[in-house]
């Protein structure tokens, strides 16, 4: 049922670049890459059309070393900058992102191929994250009194110091959110950042950095390098004081091992094979709408999107009919406005993976209810939103992440079976539960092995709850972004304990045995008094 991808066109099919992406803008952004004047170059293509988009200088390991050297000098002054001053810069950045969002939307669509609707959610995300850390950083980072070892006699304070220079490696699928949100927290904590965005979407990352400097960030605090991980990844790791990575589980495992060797911290958001459970009391129409929103944003190229859908047997047929009808009505295409529901895949390799997964499933007996084929008539990398049933364990997409607009639908008999099926994966990033009974939904959600689980929502509720941590369990990674965890991970805690009058050493005229008896009595009194 899938077309021959070898024959897909490479000529332009979709719209040309929007007027905002001018040669002057491209030159300004690419000039901010930390690379030598005579650096080799790499050219990216626009997914909508396949035509050349941007030409970047490629950073060498020596360029990366130089970027870290500059960052270390800049970080010392930045760490000494009062939090209130950092806050003002971040709030100005917040305002600039919202005011200039059309530039960001055009860049994201041009580089990634997503719809404007999906791109706008990234703008919203950065607005929320910027405001949150600007307004809450002082609370998280300020000195905190802690209970001392001896009440009244031990004055104990917890301090938070920045790690130093943080390496951020960000992916292509959410080029603004992933490039900026983790960096924002690192910067607010007093760190400098050396970032390697995926080359395919580096323009958006550079635009974000450019705006932060326009908002007042001192020179050298945030730097960008471009290149393959095989070339500069080792240098990025060897110079980092902390590693923030979003990408594949395979790469994450290597980074975790390298970070362990260096005894530095790492936060890793990795792959997922996320499940949605539709309970037997769910509102079918709302659940069908939710499934569309869960499975097909950014053409399924979203770490927290749903690829497995479990529906109670009693409502299976009715739900599938509603879900299939909605999926077939989605408008696929390329447009720099809000008229399109599903955009393009981003790279030829991603289209190849999606096609191989679907072809393999169909060849082994899966049934296609919607989609199932590429759309070269729309552009070189379009693939229809696809619903499959009769998927079995021998099919590749049964337990491998597809990362495209493809979902497999299964049924279950009871809640225990649904939970067992949802958890039958080494991943644990996101989940979704649909029901008319909120308490029941939350109880089921608590049994799903995932870092975030949404009730009557796809992923946006948990993702947008910035005050709560977001991240994966199992093969989906370690560490968290958002909330207190999202900024404290970029700091080193330090305890200052000032002992006054008397410590734990017995006074000169009291024997060790008597002193031990006195301390034992004191511990009993403290316990009886309810002291924690």
Q: Are residues 389 and 423 in the same domain?
A: yes
- Who's near 263: CB < 8 A, 6+ residues apart? none
Residue (of 488, 451, 483) closest to 467 by Cα position: 483
Q: Are residues 258 and 280 in the same domain?
A: no
Region class of 220: left (phi > 0), else alpha (psi between -120 and 50), else beta: left
- Domain presence at residue 423: yes
What is the 3-state secondary structure of 273-307? CEEEEECCCCCHHHHHHHHHHHHCHHHHCCCCCEE
DSSP tag of 383 = B
Q: Are residues 252 and 286 in the same domain?
A: no
Q: Are residues 290 and 437 in the same domain?
A: yes
3-state secondary structure of 256: helix
Q: Are residues 176 and 266 in the same domain?
A: yes
- Who's near 55: CB < 8 A, 6+ residues apart? 26, 30, 41, 42, 43
Q: Are residues 231 and 291 in the same domain?
A: no
Q: Are residues 115 and 222 in the same domain?
A: yes
Q: Where are the alpha helices (DSSP H) in 31-115?
A: 61-79, 83-99, 101-112
pLDDT digits (tens, 9 = 90+) for 285-322: 999 999 999 999 999 999 999 999 999 999 999 999 99
3-state secondary structure of 178: helix
What mean pLDDT comes out for the span 486-501? 96
Does residue 11 register a pLDDT over 50?
Answer: no
- Domain presence at residue 126: yes
Does residue 254 register a pLDDT over 60?
Answer: yes
- Domain presence at residue 496: no
Q: Are residues 369 and 427 in the same domain?
A: yes
- Domain presence at residue 301: yes
Q: Are residues 253 and 288 in the same domain?
A: no
Task: Return phi, psi of residue 384, to 5°.
Answer: -70, 145
**What CATH number did the domain enclosing 217 receive?**
3.40.605.10
The per-residue pLDDT for 532 is 82
Q: Are residues 436 and 294 in the same domain?
A: yes
Q: Are residues 360 and 463 in the same domain?
A: yes
Domain boundary among the residues 471, 493, 517 is at 471
What mean pLDDT comes out for the span 145-168? 95
Active site residues: 269
- Token pair belonging to 137: 């950083």
Question: What's the domain count of the chain?
Answer: 2
Does residue 8 register a pLDDT over 50?
Answer: no
- Token pair belonging to 125: 């995300």
pLDDT digits (tens, 9 = 90+) for 86-115: 999 999 999 999 999 999 999 999 999 999
Domain boundary among the residues 252, 270, 288 is at 270
Its pTM stands at 0.94
> CA distances (Å), 444 to each of 183, 215, 287, 438, 498, in order?
34, 45, 16, 10, 48
**What CATH number did the domain enclosing 330 receive?**
3.40.309.10
Domain boundary among the residues 471, 489, 515 is at 471
Q: Which domain holds residue 164?
A: 61-270
Residue with tokens 């719209």: 15
Q: Are residues 283 and 398 in the same domain?
A: yes
Q: Where are the alpha helices (DSSP H) in 428-511?
A: 438-445, 460-464, 483-488
The per-residue pLDDT for 109 is 98
- Domain presence at residue 38: no
pLDDT digits (tens, 9 = 90+) for 385-434: 999 999 999 999 999 999 999 999 999 999 999 999 999 999 999 999 99
């Amino acid at each position: 049922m899938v077309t021959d991808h070898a024959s897909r066109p490479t000529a332009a099919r979709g719209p040309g670049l929007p007027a905002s992406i001018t040669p002057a803008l491209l030159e300004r952004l690419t000039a901010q890459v930390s690379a030598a004047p005579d650096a080799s170059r790499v050219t990216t293509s626009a997914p909508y059309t396949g035509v050349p988009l941007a030409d970047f200088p490629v950073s060498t390991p020596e360029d990366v070393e130089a970027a870290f050297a500059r960052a270390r000098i800049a970080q010392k002054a930045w760490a000494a900058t009062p939090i209130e001053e950092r806050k003002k810069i971040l709030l100005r950045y917040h305002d600039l992102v919202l005011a200039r969002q059309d530039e960001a939307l055009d860049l994201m669509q041009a580089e990634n191929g997503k719809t404007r609707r999906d791109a706008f959610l990234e703008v919203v995300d950065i607005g929320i994250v910027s405001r949150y850390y600007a307004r809450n950083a002082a609370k998280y980072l300020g000195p905190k009194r802690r209970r001392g070892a001896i009440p009244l006699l031990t004055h104990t304070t917890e301090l938070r110091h920045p790690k130093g220079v943080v390496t951020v490696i960000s992916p292509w699928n959410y080029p603004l959110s992933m490039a900026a949100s983790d960096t924002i927290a690192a910067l607010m904590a007093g760190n400098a950042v050396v970032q390697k965005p995926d080359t395919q979407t580096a323009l958006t990352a550079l635009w974000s950095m450019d705006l932060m400097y326009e908002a007042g960030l001192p020179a050298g605090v945030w730097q960008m390098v471009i290149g393959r991980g095989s070339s500069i990844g080792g240098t990025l790791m060897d110079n980092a004081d902390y590693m923030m990575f979003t990408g594949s589980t395979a790469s994450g495992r290597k980074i975790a091992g390298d970070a362990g060797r260096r005894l530095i911290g790492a936060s890793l958001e990795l792959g997922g094979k996320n499940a949605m459970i539709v309970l037997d009391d769910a509102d079918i129409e709302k659940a069908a709408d939710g499934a569309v929103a869960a499975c097909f944003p950014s053409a399924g190229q979203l770490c927290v999107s749903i690829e497995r859908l479990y529906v109670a047997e009693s409502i299976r047929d009715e739900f599938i009919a509603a879900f299939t009808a909605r999926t077939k009505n989605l408008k696929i295409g390329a447009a720099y406005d809000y008229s399109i529901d599903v955009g393009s895949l981003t790279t030829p390799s991603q289209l190849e993976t999606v096609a191989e997964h679907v072809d393999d499933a169909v060849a082994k007996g899966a049934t296609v209810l919607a989609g199932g084929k590429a759309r070269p008539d729309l552009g070189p990398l379009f693939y229809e939103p696809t619903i499959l049933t009769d998927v079995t364990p021998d099919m590749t997409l049964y337990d491998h992440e597809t990362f495209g607009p493809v979902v497999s639908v299964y049924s279950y008999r009871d809640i225990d079976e649904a939970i067992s099926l949802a958890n039958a994966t080494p991943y644990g990033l996101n989940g979704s539960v649909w029901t008319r009974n909120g308490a029941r939904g939350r109880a089921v959600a608590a049994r799903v092995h995932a870092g975030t689980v949404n009730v009557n929502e796809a992923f946006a509720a948990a993702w947008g709850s910035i005050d709560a941590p977001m991240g994966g369990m199992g093969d989906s990674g370690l560490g968290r972004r958002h909330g207190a965890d999202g900024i404290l991970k970029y700091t080193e805690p330090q305890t200052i304990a000032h002992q006054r009058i008397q410590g734990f050493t017995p006074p000169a005229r009291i024997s060790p045995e008597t002193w031990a008896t006195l301390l034992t009595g004191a511990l009993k009194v403290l316990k009886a008094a309810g002291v924690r």
